[in-house]
Chain A
Amino acid sequence: MVNLSINGLNVSVEEGSSLLEAAKYFGFPIPTLCHMDGLSPYGACRLCVVEIGEGPKAKLVSSCTYPAEEGLKVRTASARVLKARKMILELLLASCPQSKTIQDLASAYGVHRQRFRQEHEDCILCGLCVRMCEEQMMAKAIGFRGRGENRSIGTPFDIKSDVCRLCGGCMYVCPACRLRCTYNEPEKAICGACANLSPPCIEKEQFEDMMCFMDPCVACEIKKD
């Protein structure tokens, strides 16, 4: 067992636990976007940052990837943590305002506006779909491509993947647009999350621009051609 303190509470957790697991177990809420039980931790969204250490050596780390260490002092909601989370949410809102998940989180943290140039992206590159595809579906049909601002998720060569089994797992876990394609009637397909976009699978000509890796879509069964 490893002994550490979380928000002043002395706790012990099993060796190999992450700070996120430890905090959650003892009832300290930490928001996450790229984390999901059953998938390996990735540390991409940075929303789960917590403050560790003391004095000038105090720093923020992503709790989902940082291991619980003996004697560590963890603060899950210090002023520094909250300031960082708010800025992350502001950045997310500025790029992906249509996501219900992001809207809810922003609201919970009192982020009501964003000061950047508004974008409408349909992917925050959290990588949940990539890990779902690889770790739970054992398919490896989609993956990250490129780097930096040109990073994206998709199939190799943007060609329909040979190994995709159309399981829909990638769409199921997507936090940016979770409710996409749950219905196949135009009125119902608008979940509100993607209100800034045309309903993805309804207008066929829009299909190519969507972050949809399935052809045909398992939910609405609309084929590309």
Chain B
Amino acid sequence: MEKLNFIEQFRTFRRNCLSQGDSVVPTIVVPAGTCGRASGANELIRVIEQELADKGLTEKIGLRVTGCHGFCEMEPYILIEPEQTFYPKVDPAEIPNIIEAVVRGDVLEDLLLKDSESGRIMQKQDDLPFFNKQVRTILSRNERIDPVSIESYISIGGYSAMVKVFENGDPKWVISEVKASGLRGRGGAGFLTGLKWKMLAEQPNGHGKFLVCNADEGDPGAYMDRSVLEGNPHSIIEGMIIGAYGTGVTEGILYVRNEYPLAIKHFNIALRQAREIGFLGEDILGTGFSFDISLVKGAGAFVCGEETALIRSIEGKMGEPRQRPPFPIQKGIYGKPTAINNVETWANIPVIIEGGAEAFAKIGTKNNHGTKIFSLVGKIKNTGLVEIPMGMTIKEIVYKIGGGPAGKSEIKAVQTGGPSGGCIPANKFDISIDYDSLTEVGSIMGSGGMIVMDKNTCMVDVAKYFMNFLKDESCGKCYTCRKGTQRMYEILDDISKGKGTSAHLRLLDELAHVVKDTTMCGLGQTASNPVLSTLRYFKDEYIEHIEKKRCPAGVCKELISYSINENCVGCRACVKACPEGAISGEKKQRHFIDTGKCIKCGACRNVCKFEAVDV
């Protein structure tokens, strides 16, 4: 790739990129993020390539492999451009038919998605309620580009925000734009990004400063950062260049989880391309401004998402958070001023600069501007990533976009904010999704995980799950966090095994408040939230476990037993599924479970089509 030395050269290069895309041919788009690949997108790509080559159609039909578009439930799916025809869960065997249809300009209606209520066929992506209720500022770019091609990113307007900033030439303008946009940190705390940058710019620049992109997305159940990094790594680089220009920083770092190999790969490729073309390095586009980004891989520690722990980790130390003040903005990596922003925050920067702060501020509600990506997962029909304007209600997300419960069981809560967040009960689903309302109901925005729970989810078990997670992920320095999470787990474990008492419940509540109060970092201070929020909204479930020794959701193994009721038609499906051979019965006759042998794994219940297995 030829290095671009002037802004004028960039314009020419961009025109070339655009003209290549001029010849409009139908294009097959295959989303292939980590989840797409795990669902079989690779096989689809192979078959499509083979088919196009065999039929000599490589010139007539395009193929674009992209990152994740968000609708993971329907993967592996394909989109046919320009009509945006949406084929869900594509069987590789159907590929030849689909390609033939594309050649004919036809649509295979049998393979399209149908509306479950009206039976209406939904051909286009925008016909799907999952997509058409969203405002996809960030995610929509994922489907338009090939993540490993910088030309592809430039052809949809990429790096023009960077050039706009260079042409303006005033770093203060960058900060004032970001401030005016009202963008708040998407990592969860919601600090104003513009304010953070202003503070960084005002720090003395004696020995250098750092900008960090925090891609240590540790919240279990959240994966929007992975999707953006995999699907559009250049947008992060562009955002960071703009931020660096505004704050006068020359060194940037992407700190990314080791568990995201594809994101690391794509980002490394993007870094190499950006250096080759001259967007990173010395004297970028002849502006005299220099900036480069290094990639640092984490090694599996949730606590490193905390700013001061992340800094320690970059320095090659144990990821123990430290006391603030001094704040990272004053003393960060190697004691130098450091500003840390989340992946999604960075991805919003080019959008703000390109479209203007005013346009950005129009999206969302007061003090909560722009869109936010959530990962809607758990017991929900349409799992996937959804990008919504701030201020939408939980109800709209769960029922309109998410399509309601996955099975027949009613939804009873959503859990937001990961282990630091809380469970919001269904009767609070009318609240608007913004930083402040979520905090009010005892949860937090967090990085955007939204895990849907139904009547078959036991809230004691959920609290226990998070405590198990936290007692392992706590760095262990603060006594109350280390021991407190262990003791909370111990009590929850007792309750889930029917050994709990009402004194336990009081102790749990007391301890949870002290842990929240006395620990130093964000992890410890929010570690009690899963317990406190479930105690607040689902105390009856705790009491049921304690007084009646019953788990109403049928999850806590010690408190349940499986049996087969008269619905059983004797299909033997459960007999085959049982790993212990605990089920007996003749064909077409009601089966029985030998409770002595039963390990309560639930395999029988999962396979039964007649709701004949009771808990």
Direct contact of A and B (CB under 8 A): yes
Contact with A along B458-486 (1 / 0, CB 8 A): 00000000000011111111111011111
Task: Choose among B325, B477, B487 the residue with the greatest number of A CB atoms under 10 Å from its CB.
Answer: B477
Contact status A116-B318, CB under 8 Å: no
Interface of B toward A, CB cutoff 8 Å? 301, 303, 318-319, 322-323, 325, 470-480, 482-487, 490, 503, 507, 510-511, 514, 517-520
Q: Which of A7-15, A44-52, A161-169 contacts B (4 or more CB under 8 A)?
A: A44-52
Contact status B480-A65, CB under 8 Å: no
* Cα of A59 to Cα of B518 in the assembled complex, Å: 9
Our pick among A65, A125, A147, A149 for the contact of B301 (Cβ within 8 Å) is A147
Does A43 lie at the interface of the complex (its beta carbon under 8 Å from any beta carbon of B)? Answer: yes
Contact status A116-B472, CB under 8 Å: no
Contact status B479-A46, CB under 8 Å: yes
Contact status B479-A45, CB under 8 Å: yes
Residues of chain A within 8 A of B518, CB atoms compared: 46, 49, 60, 84, 88
- If A144-B318, A147-B318 touch, whether A88 touches B474 (CB-CB below 8 Å) is no
Our pick among B322, B325, B482 for the contact of A148 (Cβ within 8 Å) is B482
- If A49-B518, A87-B511 touch, whether A148 touches B475 (CB-CB below 8 Å) is yes
Contact status B483-A147, CB under 8 Å: no
- If A49-B518, A87-B514 touch, whether A125 touches B475 (CB-CB below 8 Å) is no
Interface of A toward B, CB cutoff 8 Å? 42-47, 49, 59-62, 65-67, 69, 80, 83-84, 87-88, 91-92, 94-95, 115-117, 124-127, 144, 146-151
Contact status B325-A46, CB under 8 Å: no
Residues of chain B within 8 A of A149, CB atoms compared: 471-472, 474, 476, 482, 485-486
- Chain B minimum-CB-distance residue to A87: B514
Residues of chain B within 8 A of A59, CB atoms compared: 517
B contact face: mostly helix, strand, loop, or mixed:
helix
* Cα of A62 to Cα of B301 in the assembled complex, Å: 24
A87 to chain B, nearest CB (A): 4
Contact status A148-B480, CB under 8 Å: no
* Cα of A124 to Cα of B480 in the assembled complex, Å: 11
Contact status B480-A88, CB under 8 Å: yes
Residues of chain A within 8 A of B507, CB atoms compared: 115-116
A74 to chain B, nearest CB (A): 15
Other A-B pairs beyond A60-B518, A61-B323, A150-B472, 7, CB < 8 Å: A46-B520, A47-B479, A60-B517, A80-B517, A91-B487, A147-B301, A148-B475
* Cα of A220 to Cα of B157 in the assembled complex, Å: 76
* Cα of A197 to Cα of B277 in the assembled complex, Å: 68
Residues of chain A within 8 A of B484, CB atoms compared: 91
Our pick among B322, B487, B514 for the contact of A116 (Cβ within 8 Å) is B487
A140 to chain B, nearest CB (A): 14
B352 to chain A, nearest CB (A): 30
- Chain A minimum-CB-distance residue to B303: A147
Residues of chain B within 8 A of A91, CB atoms compared: 479-480, 483-484, 487, 511
Our pick among B319, B479, B487, B514 for the contact of A44 (Cβ within 8 Å) is B479
* Cα of A94 to Cα of B490 in the assembled complex, Å: 13
* Cα of A1 to Cα of B507 in the assembled complex, Å: 43
Q: List 23 A-B contacts (CB under 8 A).
A: A43-B477, A46-B480, A46-B519, A49-B517, A59-B517, A62-B323, A84-B517, A87-B480, A87-B510, A87-B514, A91-B484, A91-B511, A117-B490, A125-B476, A127-B477, A147-B473, A147-B476, A148-B470, A148-B485, A149-B472, A149-B474, A149-B476, A151-B476
Residues of chain A within 8 A of B519, CB atoms compared: 46
Contact status B520-A43, CB under 8 Å: yes
Residues of chain B within 8 A of A45, CB atoms compared: 479
Contact status B483-A44, CB under 8 Å: no
A125 to chain B, nearest CB (A): 7
B2 to chain A, nearest CB (A): 48
- If A46-B518, A60-B518, A84-B514 touch, whether A151 touches B478 (CB-CB below 8 Å) is no
Residues of chain A within 8 A of B470, CB atoms compared: 148
Residues of chain A within 8 A of B473, CB atoms compared: 147-148
B372 to chain A, nearest CB (A): 25
* Cα of A59 to Cα of B521 in the assembled complex, Å: 12
Residues of chain A within 8 A of B511, CB atoms compared: 87, 91
A118 to chain B, nearest CB (A): 12
B506 to chain A, nearest CB (A): 9
B457 to chain A, nearest CB (A): 25
* Cα of A148 to Cα of B301 in the assembled complex, Å: 10
Residues of chain B within 8 A of A150, CB atoms compared: 472, 476
Task: Choose among A43, A69, A117 the residue with the greatest number of B CB atoms under 10 Å from its CB.
Answer: A43
Residues of chain B within 8 A of A42, CB atoms compared: 477
- If A43-B520, A80-B517, A149-B486 touch, whether A124 touches B476 (CB-CB below 8 Å) is no
A67 to chain B, nearest CB (A): 6
* Cα of A43 to Cα of B319 in the assembled complex, Å: 15
